[in-house]
Amino acid sequence: MDIKVPEVGESIFEATIAKWHKKEGETVAKDDLLCELETDKITLELNAEVGGELSIQVAEGETVKIGTVIGSIREAEGAAEEKAEAQEPAAEKKSAKEEKAKAEAKEKPAAKPEKPKPAAAAPAKQEKAKPAAEAKKSAPPAEPPRAAPQPTRVTDERVTRKPMSSLRKRIAERLVAVRQQTAMLTTFNEADLSRVMALRKKHKESFQQRHGVSLGFMSFFVKACVEALKDFPEVNARIEGDDIVYHNFYNIAIAVGSEKGLVVPVLKDADRMQFAEIEKAILGFVDKINSNKLDLADLEGGTFTITNGGVYGSLLSTPMLNPPQSGILGMHAIKERPVAIDGKVEIRPMMYLALSYDHRIIDGKEAVNFLKRIKELIEEPEEMLLEL
């Protein structure tokens, strides 16, 4: 049975063999993980459809077209039949050898008897031979001339070179395209997370018991972004040729870091999702990414993106747009800082927020007010419906 690179999506034409989990000639069982494939968008796994002996035709690191045969499996039943045919009974083998030997003996002519050779005459007198070493002492071997000392060659192991994966190439291309094809600007603000943190602390246990998932920060920001996008539709739009395409739906993409790069799955119709549904969906994406089960459909259709550099400790950054989207919100680490509250200095848990936007479609006024709206919703989360 041939192992082929499957069709993943209309926009994917090739894949790289990232890793073979089985070796050449190894016996595999049905549903065993055979290899990982990397495309410019997702990583997927291929499992054995039948059991048998694996033959690998394309090595790790090679890039091939969709539909290419990269290996095959000789099914166990067929292999057993071939093995049975190859193993003949010992008696039959011995009989065949004897018959072959008899046939060869008949074909060979009879060997002629050799004539006796005359005896050699004995020497008149036998002299004792002396070794040459007794006649003349050999001089000790001369030492070879020593070569001039050469400088020790140090192997430079400080540099490692390896080819970029298809996913990393695609990420690099998109980042360069953002700089070249958009008028990207970034505006900043900060939000006081005191009330969000108080809500999470108060309802943490009841939320977990009722929904089976923890209440995180991301669901608050997804809800806040949806409400802000309703007030500022340009941020939820995109440019297509000479037209502005306004989306009357809210598909929020969530940037998730992985070992192979940044992946951005999409929460479809996030405006219809409750807090628990958002948290469960995000956890589901993380599980899919870790197990290479993410589908191409999970990455398509986003209208706005949220990225959280705070999970890595980032205090402030400029997030890059995710084309063809026109806006992206950057969350950052929560830090206690002194802030002025009603004329008094208080220590509050603060988070810097960053909105990168395409200035071709979004004016500075709309961008600033959009970010201010998110700040207001986060600082007064009671405005957003919290499902407990």
pLDDT in tens, 182-195: 999 999 999 999 99
Could you confirm whether 359 is annotated as catalytic? yes
CA distances from 139 to 133, 136, 146, 230 (A): 11, 9, 20, 103
Question: H/E element holding 279?
Answer: helix 275-290
Query: In the predicted model, what is the mean pLDDT of residues 107-128?
Result: 48
Task: Please answer whether residues 253 and 325 qualify as being in contact, where contact means their C-beta atoms are separated by less than 8 angstroms.
Answer: yes
What is the pTM (predicted TM-score) of this model? 0.72
Q: Tens digits of per-residue pLDDT, 41-78?
A: 788 889 999 999 999 999 998 889 999 999 999 986 65
**Cβ contacts of 16-19, under 8 Å, gap ≥ 24:** 16/61, 16/62, 16/63, 16/64, 16/165, 16/166, 17/58, 17/59, 17/60, 17/61, 17/62, 17/63, 17/64, 17/70, 18/43, 18/60, 18/165, 19/60
Query: In the predicted model, what is the mean pLDDT of residues 272-301?
Result: 92
Mean pLDDT of the chain: 83
Q: What is the pLDDT of residue 242?
A: 94
Q: Strand 252-254 and strand 304-308: pairing?
A: parallel
Instruction: Name which of 79-83, 286-290, 296-300, 318-322 the model is least confident about.
Output: 79-83
Q: What is the pLDDT of residue 183?
A: 95
Regarding predicted confidence, which is higher, 125 or 8?
8
Regarding predicted confidence, which is higher, 95 or 21?
21
For tokens 């923890």, the residue is 214
Report DSSP state, residue 296: G
Catalytic choice (31, 231, 269, 359): 359
Q: Which of 5, 9, 15, 6 is nearest to 301 (CA)?
A: 9
Q: What is the pLDDT of residue 350?
A: 98
- Residue 388: pLDDT band by 50, 70, 90 thresholds? very low
Q: Which of 4, 339, 47, 366 is nearest to 190 (CA)?
A: 339
Task: Please answer whether residues 321 and 356 qualify as being in contact, where contact means their C-beta atoms are separated by less than 8 angstroms.
Answer: yes
Q: What is the pLDDT of residue 126?
A: 47
> What percent of the chain has pLDDT above 90?
59
Report DSSP state, residue 323: T
Task: Please answer whether residues 329 and 315 qualify as being in contact, where contact means their C-beta atoms are separated by less than 8 angstroms.
Answer: no
Q: Tens digits of per-residue pLDDT, 133-166?
A: 454 455 555 565 665 656 555 556 889 988 887 7
Q: Tens digits of per-residue pLDDT, 234-266?
A: 999 999 999 999 999 999 999 998 877 788 999
Regarding predicted confidence, which is higher, 169 or 159?
159
Other CB atoms within 10 Å distance of the CB of residue 184: 18
Query: In the predicted model, what is the mean pLDDT of residues 23-43?
Result: 89
Q: What is the pLDDT of residue 10?
A: 67
Could you confirm whether 298 is annotated as catalytic? no
- Residue 130: exposed, middle, or buried by beta-carbon count in 10 A (0-12, 13-18, 19+)? exposed
Type of residue numbered 342: D
Domains delineated in the chain: 2-77 (2.40.50.100), 184-383 (3.30.559.10)
Catalytic choice (31, 231, 295, 363): 363
Whether 14 shows a pLDDT value over 70: the answer reads yes
Instruction: Name which of 13-17, 84-88, 145-149, 198-202 the model is least confident about.
Output: 84-88
